[in-house]
Structure 1
C-alpha cells in the first residue's frame, strides 16, 4: 500500500467520527472534537488522521527571501513574523479551536469557512505589520480545501498533546505542501492591508535570547515521505530511537526548568512593545526596565500574586513545539555531534532509497517565540526553531535533494518501462 492510499482510505476512526459528526453545522468544532494522542512515536499511525471538512480553508503565509534575511542575522525577526500569523488569527477568533503549524519562516492554519473574512482580515493586517514594522515581506494565501482535493491531494489532521495543557496539530496528505506551492506561485493571494494597519498581537513575546545547546548541536530536521508508507514509518522510528536513547529528554532543545529571557528583551521585543514607530526615548527605557524586571523575577522565582515563576518556566519547556508532523517529520533537537551524524546518515540512506527527501541544518543555539495570552494560565504556547537558519535552511537543502531523488526515480521508471514496439 502506498502512502497516498493510506491517507485517502477511510479508517475506523474516520467512520466513527462521520457517524457522530454529520452536517455542515458540526464542522466548526471538528478539530476541537479530535481526541489528542500523547505518544509522539504514533505520528506515523496514519489511521488516526482525519480529513478536514470540505467547507474549510487553509491559510498559508511565509516570509519572502527569508534566506537573505537569515544571512544578515535577522532570523529572530523572521521567526517573529511566522508566530505573529498564528497570534493574529488566535486573537481574532479567541473562542475557536483550530489547527495550525509554525514553520520557522511562516505558518499554516486551517479554519472553517464560517470565519473566512476574519482570517483574511487578520492575515492582511499581519502582512502590513511585517512590512511596515520589520521590513519583511509576508506573502499570504487562503486556499479552499476543495481546491486541494481537486488537485489530487488531501489535508488530514490529528492532535498531539505536547503536555497536559497544550496540543499541536499534525498534518498529512500532501495538501499543506501543495497549498504552500500555490502560495509561492501567487495563487489564491491575499493582499496586504493599507499602510500602518496592525493586527492584534497581544500575547506575542520574543524576548528570549539564543538558547545554547547542552549536548553540542541543535539539529533542524525535515524528512518528507515520497511513496511507500511502511519504509517511511520505519525511517521515522529509527530517527526517533536515535534521539530518544542517545539524548536527554528526547532531544528537547530547552532546559527542563525553562529558559530565561534576555536582560533587555531583545530588539524585536522592544519593537513590539513600542506604542508607535516613533516612540519616545522614555518609552524605550521603560521597555528595557520591564525586560530586566521580567528576567529578575523569573530567575529568582519570586512569586507575584497568582504568578508562579518556576511553574511558568517549566511549562515553557513542556509546551514547546520542538517536534511535529507537517506532511513530514520536522524537529529541532539538541543532540551530540555523533548522533547528528547518525541521523543524517540514516536520512541520506533513506533518500537514496527513494523513501523520503530530507534536509538538516546544524547550529549551536535555538530561538524561541511565544504566545502568552496570560501568565497565570498554563496554556501558553512556544514555537522553537534553530537560531542560525533552522527549518528554512534545512528546507533549502531538502530542495536540492528532492531534485536529485525525483530525477533518479524518473530514470528508474524509464528503465523499467518497456520500449514501444
Structure 2
C-alpha cells in the first residue's frame, strides 16, 4: 500500500494558484479537489454523510485523484437472464466484482456502488495492474460457472476528464466504517456507455481488459453470500424506482416519495420483520460455484452447507458465540443497506401498500410531466439481498438490495422506453 503523505508535504508541493482555487471552491460550496489526498487514502479520508439526504449535495462530493481508476461491470443481456428466472444469479454476479476488488485492495477503502445487474468500483493507483487481472479472471469465472457474459471496463480518472466528464465521489456511511460510494459528474455514465458500446465508442479500447489476462488464477470472493431469504413485503409490494434528472431536484423527489411510502409504517425493505433465514439457503449453490477454485462442485457445496448450517443455528436462535452477537448483527444489517446514486440517476427500493404505490406513481408522473425527471418503476412481491461480510463479529458488513424479479433492471428498461 502506498504511504499517505502528510498534509505539510502536500501544502509545500502544491502551486499557490491551485491552493487558491481550492479555497475558492470551498467558499462557493463546490466539491474540493481530491488531489489534496494521495495514495490509497482518498476514499477513507472523505467526510462521511450518514443519511441518504447527504447524497444530494454537490458540496459533499470530492474530485477523485487523476491516477485512480474507475471500474464498471455489467451483465450483458441481463433482462433475458432475469426472464429465465436468474435474477438472484444476476445480483450475485454484480456483487462479485465489488467483493473481488474490495478483497484485492484491502485494507484500502474503496468507493463502490451496486446496480442490480452491474457495479461501479474505484481503484487506487497501487492496485491497478492487479485489478485488471482480477477483472479478467472474474469475467472468465462468471462465463464458466454461470454462463453469463460479464462486461468489464477500467479507465483512469484522468482519461475520463479528458473525455469531458468528471468523477466526483461522496462517502455514504450508514454505520461507522461501513461506507458506500456515490458518484457525480458523468464519469460513471461515460464509462458504462464505453463498456457497452462493443467497440463503437472511442473509449472502449482504452477501457477494455484483454481476455488473455484471465489465467484462471485464484479469486478472493470471501465474504460474498446470499444466505437470507427473499425479503417478503409486509405492507403490500416492493417498489423499485429509478429516477433520472438533475441533482437539484433529487432531494425533493426522494423526500416526497419516502414520505408517501412511510405514511402507514416503515417503508425500508430490510427490517426485522422482513428478515428470514433458513437452511439450506436457496443461494448456497451460487457461493459454491464462485468459491470452488477448481474443486468438484459437490465438495464446494458441502463446505458452504456446513458453514451456513452453523450460521443458521446461531442467528435463528439469537445465540451469541464468541464476539459474535446475532442481535447486534441484525441491527447493523438493517442500517448497512445500499443506497444507489450516480451521475443523474437515483435508485432505491421501498416496501409500500397498494395505495402508496398509486400515489408514488402519480407524484413521479407529475414531476415527469413538468420535465423535472424521467423514471421507471417495477413492483414485485419481494426484494433480494446479497451480502458482503468482512467480519460479522466486528460489524464490518454491507448489503446490496434489489427488487424481486429483477427490480432495477426492469425499472431501467421502463425508463429507457419512457
Q: Is TM-score (shorter-chain normalized) higher than 0.5? A: yes
Residue 273 of structure 1: how far off its partner (Å) = 5.4
Within the alignment, does 1:190 sit opposite 2:209 as a pair? yes
Partner residue in 2 for 1:10: 25
Within the alignment, does 1:85 sit opposite 2:97 as a pair? yes
2 CA distance for matches of 1:295 and 1:71? 30
Within the alignment, does 1:398 sit opposite 2:415 as a pair? yes
TM-score, reference length from structure 2: 0.85
Report Cα offsets for 1:298-328 as digits up to 9, x if no partner: 111122222212221222212111x232222
Map 1:30-109 to 2 at 5 A.
30-109=42-121
Within the alignment, does 1:178 sit opposite 2:190 as a pair? yes
Partner residue in 2 for 1:373: 390
Partner residue in 2 for 1:338: 355
Partner residue in 2 for 1:414: none
Q: Would you say the 8 A contact 1:70–1:388 is kept in 2?
A: yes
1 CA distance for matches of 2:303 and 2:90? 25
The alpha-carbon distance between structure 1 residues 256 and 165, as it changes in their structure 2 partners (threshold 3 A), is farther
Residue 351 of structure 1: how far off its partner (Å) = 2.0
Report Cα offsets for 1:192-227 as digits up to 9, x if no partner: 44474441111111122312011111111111115x
SS of the residue 2:238 aligns to: strand
SS of the residue 2:48 aligns to: coil
SS of the residue 2:40 aligns to: helix
Q: Would you say the 8 A contact 1:257–1:310 is kept in 2?
A: no
Q: Would you say the 8 A contact 2:35–2:64 is kept in 1?
A: no
Report Cα offsets for 1:171-197 as digits up to 9, x if no partner: 112221111111101312113444744
The alpha-carbon distance between structure 1 residues 257 and 163, as it changes in their structure 2 partners (threshold 3 A), is farther
The alpha-carbon distance between structure 1 residues 236 and 195, as it changes in their structure 2 partners (threshold 3 A), is same
Within the alignment, does 1:242 sit opposite 2:242 as a pair? no
The alpha-carbon distance between structure 1 residues 310 and 257, as it changes in their structure 2 partners (threshold 3 A), is farther
2 CA distance for matches of 1:155 and 1:367? 29
Q: Would you say the 8 A contact 2:228–2:277 is kept in 1?
A: yes
Q: Would you say the 8 A contact 1:101–1:109 is kept in 2?
A: yes
2 CA distance for matches of 1:297 and 1:125? 35
Q: Would you say the 8 A contact 1:363–1:387 is kept in 2?
A: yes
The alpha-carbon distance between structure 1 residues 179 and 287, as it changes in their structure 2 partners (threshold 3 A), is closer
RMSD: 2.4
Within the alignment, does 1:127 sit opposite 2:146 as a pair? no
2 CA distance for matches of 1:287 and 1:113? 34
2 CA distance for matches of 1:16 and 1:395? 29
Residue 61 of structure 1: how far off its partner (Å) = 0.4
Report Cα offsets for 1:18-37 as digits up to 9, x if no partner: 5xx656x7253221111111
SS of the residue 1:376 aligns to: coil
Within the alignment, does 1:252 sit opposite 2:264 as a pair? no
SS of the residue 1:207 aligns to: coil
The alpha-carbon distance between structure 1 residues 43 and 375, as it changes in their structure 2 partners (threshold 3 A), is closer
The alpha-carbon distance between structure 1 residues 374 and 42, as it changes in their structure 2 partners (threshold 3 A), is closer
SS of the residue 2:390 aligns to: coil
Report Cα offsets for 1:51-78 as digits up to 9, x if no partner: 2122222100011111111011111111
Partner residue in 2 for 1:138: 150
TM-score, reference length from structure 1: 0.84
Partner residue in 2 for 1:349: 366
1 CA distance for matches of 2:41 and 2:269? 33
2 CA distance for matches of 1:49 and 1:325? 12
1 CA distance for matches of 2:295 and 2:380? 33
Unpaired stretches in structure 1, ≥5 consecutive residues? 1-8, 402-421
Unpaired stretches in structure 2, ≥5 consecutive residues? 1-23, 199-203
Residue 121 of structure 1: how far off its partner (Å) = 1.5
The alpha-carbon distance between structure 1 residues 247 and 40, as it changes in their structure 2 partners (threshold 3 A), is farther
Q: Would you say the 8 A contact 1:129–1:198 is kept in 2?
A: no
Residue 143 of structure 1: how far off its partner (Å) = 1.7
2 CA distance for matches of 1:15 and 1:232? 18
Partner residue in 2 for 1:222: 242
Partner residue in 1 for 2:20: none
The alpha-carbon distance between structure 1 residues 123 and 284, as it changes in their structure 2 partners (threshold 3 A), is closer
Q: Would you say the 8 A contact 1:209–1:262 is kept in 2?
A: yes
Partner residue in 1 for 2:15: none
Partner residue in 2 for 1:305: 322
1 CA distance for matches of 2:70 and 2:288? 32
SS of the residue 1:62 aligns to: strand
Q: Would you say the 8 A contact 2:35–2:65 is kept in 1?
A: no
Residue 124 of structure 1: how far off its partner (Å) = 1.1
2 CA distance for matches of 1:277 and 1:73? 27
Report Cα offsets for 1:271-294 as digits up to 9, x if no partner: 3454646334x6645543543342
2 CA distance for matches of 1:15 and 1:112? 23
